[in-house]
Chains A and B, each alone.
Chain A
């Protein structure tokens, strides 16, 4: 069984602060996706990274896939209350890209 550990589990910060969420595994993934989930909704895809060392930016969010494709990070610059939610990384297994393994989740709260 492939496991994806996220850290921190919980994060409460003030508006304007920066933060980084980590997603680590001992297994190699063919792709790594990041989702955000708000209460009462399903997860919404933020980004997919597929190449070791790849960095993608989405406005204030920066995503990085580790060189060995075993880990990833999400960095948020100048967090806003709208960033509040549950952040989930999800790995696509080599050879079976349709099957996702979700990380343990990071619950972020951004206050004014």
Chain B
């Protein structure tokens, strides 16, 4: 299994500012995934981050708004830029669980409130 440390666990931010969320995994993984979970809703994939290459963004998400770094095989960051209240969500990182064919492990999430 994998253990993911995600921080901060929560934050309240002013509109127009940016927040960087960190995700640390206790093992090396090829891909890391960033999701958004809006209040009371399901998860939506933002982007997939591979080490050494540009992240791949899903429809509706752009690099200027959600820049991602992947400096090594155990760490990634997601920045939410120029925030507005509509960005208030839970942001989660995820990795494929080592040793399984289809399982995924999730961080505990970052609850972001933009005021």
Contacts and interface: CB of A to CB of B under 8 A. Distances in A.
A48 interface: yes
A33 B102 contact: yes
B103 A33 contact: yes
A71 to B, nearest CB: 17
Contacts of B103: 33, 45, 48
Contacts of B21: none
B43 A31 contact: no
Contact of B109 (A41, A50, A92, A98): A41
A42 B42 contact: no
Contacts of B35: 102
Contacts of A44: 106
Interface string B2-44: 0010100100000000000000000000010101000001111
A100 B45 contact: yes
A43 B43 contact: yes
A105 B59 contact: no
Nearest to A48: B102
Given A40-B109, A104-B42, A45 B48 contact: no
Q: Which applies to chain A's interface (DSSP): helix, strand, loop or mixed?
A: strand
A35 B94 CA distance: 13
Nearest to B103: A45
B97 A45 contact: yes
Interface in A58-112: 88, 90, 92, 97-105
A1 B44 CA distance: 12
A41 B102 contact: no
Contacts of A40: 9, 108-109, 111
Given A48-B102, A92-B102, A97-B101, 15 more contacts: A40-B9, A42-B4, A42-B92, A42-B105, A42-B109, A43-B106, A45-B97, A45-B105, A48-B100, A50-B102, A100-B45, A102-B43, A102-B44, A104-B41, A105-B41
5 contacts: A31-B101, A43-B92, A98-B48, A102-B43, A104-B42
